[in-house]
Every structure is written in structure tokens, then in C-alpha cells.
Amino acid sequence: MSKIQDRKVQVLKFIVEEYLKTGEIMGSKNLLKKYDLQVSSATVRNDMAALEDMGLIFQPYNSAGRLPTNRGLRVFVDYLMETMPAVFLEAEQNLSDKLEKNRIDDVLYGLVARLTKITGEITFACIPSLGTSYYLGLSNYLERHHGALGEEMFQVIKCLENKYQFIDLLEWLDISTRVSAFIGEESVIPELESSTMIVKKIEVNGYTGYLGILGSTMMDYAFNITALRQVL
């Protein structure tokens, strides 16, 4: 278990012990006066807030102190019996999952930003299993085609903004790890029948996803296919 989680265990232990000894609530300042945690009062308050989110302690009335819940007492007993309380392991895993998803979001955004910069087209990336999707390049596309593609552009935007329908479409299509192209009605859904989508399957931190370009049927195919192949 990490040092941060280990400190939370200690904070819970001290709060429970004070409650069992005196029945009194324990605030961060009093806790630091009695125990050497070697951190600031703000850090202890953050730890107490995290313990409260886990349902292990609660604020009985409008004060800075906390008391243990029955669940907190159970975790304390498990600690005494040398069993690592699962709630801390779950909290650590939830944090790890959140950080992992943030990293994936950063990767996807970086990919579409780079691909849009290279091609000037609408580009997209998604991880279906996470429901994560990004797209960029609408302003570039509108600037180039605003005089001729009003209705077509509306349909493209409508498609991209219906995130789950778009992800379902990508999963339904036969997309390879190289580059697949769907021209006009080949893309299946009506909103894209006047557009071309070139797309490939990607792997990001162990998750399968898609990276692609969506544009006019008159796009520069050779350049865009090369860019898509080389960006990742």
C-alpha cells in the first residue's frame, strides 16, 4: 500500500482510538498535537475528507471534528487483525483507474491535435470500451468549404456529436490496423453519405480504439492516408 494510503489508515486509527477512549470528536489540529504525522493540518484535513468520502468517518455536527462510522470501526478491527482493509485498496485502485483514463484522454487528444495540424481535416479518436471520443478540425473544414457544403457540414457535425452512434458505427465497420477507407454511402449511416472517412484501428495503453479523418469525398487521399499511417 502507498505511503499516502498508509497515512490515511493511521489517521483513521487515531480517530477511532480517541473515540473509544474518550467519546470525543477529533479534529485535524488536535490530531496533530497528539500524534506526529509529519504533515500539515491541510494534509490531514484532506485525508479526513477522503475517509469521509469512503464512509469511514463523519461530522456529527457543525464542527471541524470527526467520529468513526460503524464501517470505520470495522476497518479499524480489520487493521488490528492485520487484514489490509479492502476499502483502502479499492480507493487506491479507483485513483489509479482515474489517472490511467486521464493519460488515455491526453493521448487521444494529442493524436487528433497532431493529425488535424498535419492534414487540416476533421480528425477523431475514440476508445469504445471507455466511451471516450475526441474530434478536432471543424473550424479548418468550415473555413475551406463554407461556401459549398452547408448541409453536408451540418450532417457531419450531427454525426460526430452523437458520440455513441458514431462509436457504434466504427465498431460495426470492418476496420484494420492499417488504413480503411469508406467513401460516401460505404460508411453506412446517412449523415456521412456525402463524406469520406479513412480510419485505422489503434492500441492505447492496452485499449483498442480508432483514429481517423473525416472529410469531403474530394479530399487529398494520398496525403491523408500517409499522414494517418505515420501519426501513430
Task: Answer whether residue 94 is part of any domain.
Answer: no
- Tell me which residue range forms the domain holding 73: 3-84
* Residue for grid cell 471543424: 138
CB-side neighbour CA atoms (13 Å) of 61: 2
Domain co-membership, 129 together with 163 = yes
Other residues' Cβ atoms within 10 Å of the Cβ of residue 102? 10
Give the residue-averaged pLDDT of 7-31. 83
Q: What is each CA distance from 141 to 82, 114, 119, 120, 179, in whole angstroms?
A: 61, 15, 10, 7, 21
State whether 150 and 106 are in the same domain. yes
Structural domain ending residue among the three candidates 84, 109, 138: 84
Q: Does the pLDDT at position 147 exceed 70?
A: no
Same domain, 122 and 214: yes
pLDDT at 152: 66
Bridge partners of residue 203, in order along the sequence: 208
Q: Do 213 and 110 fall into the same domain?
A: yes
Secondary structure class of 37 (helix, strand, coil): coil
Mean pLDDT over residues 154-173, rounded? 77
Beta bridge partners of 26: 66
- Kindly report, residue by residue over 76-133, the tens digit of the pLDDT: 777 765 555 555 555 555 555 554 666 788 888 888 888 988 888 889 998 888 888 8
- Predicted confidence at residue 1, as pLDDT, reads 44
Q: What is the mean pLDDT of residues 135-140?
A: 78
The rounded mean pLDDT for the chain is 78
At 142, the pLDDT band (50, 70, 90 cuts) reads low
Residue type, 60: P
Q: Which of 32-41, 61-70, 77-86, 133-142 has the lowest mean pLDDT?
A: 77-86
Residue 37 pLDDT greater than 50, yes or no: yes
Q: Per the domain annotation, does 89 fall within a domain? A: no
Same structural domain, 155 and 207: yes
Which residues, in sequence order, are bridge partners of residue 125?
134, 211
Q: How far apart are CA 207 and CA 220, in angstroms?
A: 30
Is residue 93, in this structure, part of any structural domain at all? Answer: no
Does residue 182 have a pLDDT over 70? yes
> What is the chain's length?
232
CA distance 36 to 53: 24
Domain count, the chain: 2
My answer on whether 103 and 175 are in the same domain is yes
